[in-house]
């Protein structure tokens, strides 16, 4: 009982810290015109620890078993940057047993009326804006994913729904829902078109890809 109470207390403390960082109320200081926060030492990896220690602490050794355990139903690693989340997701996926399948997006552009330039595919593929899936998704059966668009509310496919991959086909991904009101339902996820435009860009990026991200780790916001 005392152990559970301590775990609950630590969870509440971490949740409060994440909320304060997210809304900008956590104490900070400016150094060379950049804002920094001091994270408590007990929430940081020790100097002799690395990302592998973090992964094992959150998910346990069973994450690398052929039949992945149920722990990632309610566990996740939060990071402040997309590239950190992608690095952790790729590291875990690589170590899990089984064959991987790579899904590459189809990227194109829609230019403004006053522009007649063209862009190489390599440049479009390198773009990784927030809110879009990456050009290349590396997936394995059994790993957790998160939906980043609402595509079928009636069957539980909302933005933010977590799922576990059951099968990887050429045009659809079969997965079981792990969160929300439709837990346990098996669904099919198709590719969809994403549109990304920024004011300073003269073009709109159109990316056709599965609306998912690997969900061992994700950004804090």
pLDDT tens digit sequence for 21-67: 878 888 888 888 888 888 878 777 778 888 888 888 888 777 766 45
Cα gap 97→168, rounded to integer Å: 15
pLDDT at 134: 92
Cα gap 114→71, rounded to integer Å: 53
The whole-chain average pLDDT of the chain stands at 84
59-103 tens-digit pLDDT: 877 776 645 555 566 678 888 788 888 889 988 898 888 899 999
Cα gap 205→6, rounded to integer Å: 48
Tokens linked to 79: 């990071």
pTM: 0.77
Query: Which residues are bridge partners to 79 per DSSP?
Result: 219
pLDDT at 7: 46
Q: How confident is the model at residue 8 (pLDDT cuts 50, 70, 90)?
A: low
Cα gap 205→32, rounded to integer Å: 35
Cα gap 63→174, rounded to integer Å: 20
144-158 tens-digit pLDDT: 999 999 999 999 999
How far does Cα 43 stand from its chain's mean position? 21
Q: Which of 98, 105, 104, 85 is nearest to 165 (CA)?
A: 98
In the numeric block, the tokens 């860009």 are attached to: 201
Cα gap 134→219, rounded to integer Å: 14
């Amino acid at each position: 009982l005392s152990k559970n109470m301590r775990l609950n207390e630590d969870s509440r403390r971490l949740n409060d810290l994440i909320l304060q960082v997210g809304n900008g109320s956590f104490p900070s200081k400016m150094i060379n015109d950049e804002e920094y926060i001091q994270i408590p030492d007990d929430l940081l990896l020790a100097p002799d620890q690395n990302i592998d220690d973090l992964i094992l602490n959150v998910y346990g050794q069973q994450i690398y078993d052929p039949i992945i355990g149920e722990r990632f139903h309610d566990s996740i690693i939060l990071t402040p940057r997309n590239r950190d989340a992608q690095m952790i997701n790729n590291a875990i996926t690589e170590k899990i047993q089984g064959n991987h399948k790579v899904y590459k997006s189809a990227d194109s552009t829609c230019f403004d009326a006053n522009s007649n330039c063209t862009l190489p595919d390599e440049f479009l593929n390198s773009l990784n804006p927030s809110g879009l899936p990456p050009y290349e998704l590396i997936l394995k059966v059994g790993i957790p994913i998160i939906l980043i668009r609402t595509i079928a509310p009636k069957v539980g496919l909302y933005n933010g729904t977590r799922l576990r991959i059951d099968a990887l086909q050429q045009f659809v991904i079969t997965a079981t829902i792990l969160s929300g009101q439709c837990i346990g339902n098996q669904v099919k996820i198709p590719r969809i078109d994403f549109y990304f435009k920024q004011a300073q860009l003269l073009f709109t990026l159109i990316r056709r890809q599965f609306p998912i991200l690997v969900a061992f780790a994700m950004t804090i916001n």
